[in-house]
Amino acid sequence: MTTITIEMIKELRERTSVGVADCRKALVEAEGNIEKAIEDLQKKGIAKAAKKQGRIAAEGKIGMDATPDGTQVALVELNCETDFAAKNDSFISLTNDIAKIVREQNPSSLEALNALAMPGGLTVEQSVVNFTAATGEKATLRRFIRFAADNSRIGWYNHDGGRICVMVDVVSSDDSVTSSPDFIQACEDIAMHIAAMNPPYARVDEIPQEDVDKQGEIFTAQVLEEGKPENIVPKIVVGKIAKWKKDNCLVDQLFVKDSEITVADLLSRFGDDVTVRRFARYEVGEGIEKRVFDLAAEVAEITNA
């Protein structure tokens, strides 16, 4: 029988981040072969992860990676179950490493991203599974997005250590504009504005007609409920829709750092052709339905089991 030494356990733990007891057990089963033990632990990690699929991972972190010149920026959302795990150094590093892979390799889908290799040699998917195995926390790679500049500058903003991250692609045909410090600062300020104001659209011309029609129906019902004469309802609704568009389009919003101007006014300082091409705003857990715990029901279920 192979003797399992402290040094072997230490090496296996350093390479897998798995607990000491599991490392020792894996080494015993692998008869001291560290590579086989790693493979066995990875398989068990996948099994552990599968048992946790019923849990809801709505906490986590938005990872961001950007080139210093603002030509490429990527965001990823990696979810876990608790805020405590989201602040774990290994979770933070994992999220940022995945963001870097997205920026550098530009995968076409989550499936493609999961198959890419991480710095340590494991795939992205295996690395996420290993985090689950090591911590007992279900981790889920939810989404990613990448921007590459094209006659533009990408500004970005990271709020609260990755709770909300934004990137905005601002276009100008003049290279001297996109490389100027004032323009770079303006792009970063607009990214911060997006984080704070959360506009649904960049410009009026990108609002889907179905959204306008739906909002028109809502306003019509509201105005009729107020008892306004039917013959003036259409005119009132037109005005309300115009205001709704202004309030919900980034370039028409009052600038968060100077309420005397709009975002469009800020951009016009750098040229008539300067505009926002697109933006992305990721907030941890948005759109994920969180489980509501009923302690009394859980106790009753355990008692009656």
In contact, 194 and 281? CB cutoff 8 Å: yes
Give the model's pLDDT for residue 83: 86
Q: pLDDT digits over 33-46, tens only?
A: 988 887 787 766 63
CATH 3.30.479.20 domain span(s) along the chain: 59-205+249-283
**pLDDT above 70: percentage of residues in the chain:** 87
CATH 1.10.286 domain span(s) along the chain: 208-245
Fold of 6-51: Helicase, Ruva Protein; domain 3 (1.10.8)
The whole-model pTM stands at 0.75
Rounded Cα distance between 170 and 190, Å, is 9
Domain 59-205+249-283: give its CATH code.
3.30.479.20
Tokens 């003797």, located at residue = 3
Give the model's pLDDT for residue 146: 98
Give the model's pLDDT for residue 305: 45
Give the model's pLDDT for residue 302: 37
Range in 88-102, 240-254, 282-296 with the lowest mean pLDDT: 282-296
Structure tokens belonging to residue 105: 């390799």
Name the nearest CA neighbour of 83 among 271, 260, 284. 284
How buried is residue 233: exposed, middle or buried, by Cβ count under 10 Å (0-12/13-18/19+)?
middle
Name the nearest CA neighbour of 79 among 143, 165, 139, 133. 139
Q: pLDDT digits over 140-170, tens only?
A: 999 999 999 999 999 999 999 999 999 999 9
Which CATH architecture is the domain 208-245 placed in? Orthogonal Bundle (1.10)
Rounded Cα distance between 144 and 107, Å, is 9
